[in-house]
């Protein structure tokens, strides 16, 4: 099976390029200049050239706070751009797997969100991603929309890398402890995306495999506890670590409002696609080991 994935340098794209061969899948990353979601012309031609069995829509505008100042760009990329990719996949006669986010919810629910719970994004980023979900569903019925959260990996900018960078220069880091979710490793996302894409290709008439699904690691935590786990894993291999000063979200204001509850119910994904992501604690140490080995080789005392 061959899948075309939009983007080149994103965390999930890099994880797919690494995991694809292990699963017997040919992964072709298609990004700028061939594909520019801010300028949809040429998307179909670029995707067609890859001869895909499925398309993975992973490229997105992900600058959550900057989106508050750049709503037009966020909506163009995450809404219109995602829809254009889905339309191209329909024209090619192949399914699309589109990656979305917990930010489509307001975070006020006191239990994990299910796919049927009402959306209500409180940020431009979340609103633009929800617009993308609607555009994808409208453009291609043969779709699976996978909402995920708290992505981290050895690639790019993410919370794990940020924490290790801060710990390499200071003894204490302040982290909010009233936002809850499930840290989700990009490699686990890649494995799941491949599984879902394969199911869509193998069972083209199975309606239960299509629609919206939630996809996060098993278990839950808050950002402060996640930071403590990162430092514990790093400390074991001689990497940087720091004390965590727990603070409320009110002490760390940001331009875009973050959901206090980012927990997602993944049971539909398990029932339909027979896949369940591993506990977040299990996937963390290998990623920290790679980050420390590559970027934080020297022991930094805490």
Residue 125 bears catalytic tag: yes
- 8 Å CB contact between 123 and 68: yes
Segments in 140-242 forming alpha helices (H):
159-167, 186-202, 223-236
- 8 Å CB contact between 72 and 31: no
Grouping H, G, I as helix, E, B as strand and the rest as coil, residue 170 is coil
DSSP codes of every residue in 238-251:
T----EEEEE-GGG
Query: Exactly one of 61, 103, 125, 152 is catalytic; which is it?
Result: 125
- 8 Å CB contact between 183 and 217: yes
Sign of CA dihedral 163, 57, 212, 280: negative
- DSSP secondary-structure letter at 205? T
- DSSP secondary-structure letter at 219? S
Q: Which residues are catalytic?
A: 125
């Amino acid at each position: 099976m061959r899948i075309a994935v939009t983007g080149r340098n994103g965390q999930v794209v890099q994880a797919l390029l690494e995991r694809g061969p292990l699963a017997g899948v040919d992964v072709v990353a298609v990004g700028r200049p061939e594909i520019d979601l801010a300028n949809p012309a040429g998307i179909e031609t670029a995707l067609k050239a890859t001869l895909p069995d499925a398309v993975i829509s992973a490229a997105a505008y992900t600058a959550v706070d900057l989106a508050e100042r750049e709503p037009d760009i966020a909506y163009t990329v995450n809404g219109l751009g995602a829809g254009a990719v889905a339309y191209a996949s329909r024209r090619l006669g192949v399914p699309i797997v589109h990656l979305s986010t917990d930010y489509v919810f307001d975070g006020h629910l006191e239990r994990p969100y299910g796919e049927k719970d009402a959306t209500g994004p409180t940020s431009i980023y979340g609103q633009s991603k929800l617009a993308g979900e609607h555009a994808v569903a409208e453009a291609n019925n043969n779709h699976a929309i996978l909402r995920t959260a708290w992505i981290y990996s050895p690639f790019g900018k993410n919370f794990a890398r940020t924490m290790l960078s801060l710990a390499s220069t200071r003894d204490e880091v302040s982290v909010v402890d009233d936002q809850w979710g499930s840290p989700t490793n990009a490699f686990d996302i890649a494995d799941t995306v491949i599984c879902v894409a394969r199911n869509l290709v193998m069972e083209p008439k199975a309606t239960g495999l299509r629609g919206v699904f939630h996809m996060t690691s098993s278990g839950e935590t808050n950002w402060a506890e996640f930071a403590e786990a990162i430092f514990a894993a790093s400390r074991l291999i001689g990497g940087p670590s720091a004390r965590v000063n727990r603070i409320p979200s009110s002490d760390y204001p940001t331009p875009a409002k973050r959901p206090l509850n980012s927990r997602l119910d993944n049971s539909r994904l398990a029932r339909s696609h027979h896949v369940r992501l591993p506990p977040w604690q299990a996937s963390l140490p290998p990623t920290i080991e790679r980050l420390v080995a590559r970027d934080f080789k020297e022991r930094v005392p805490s």
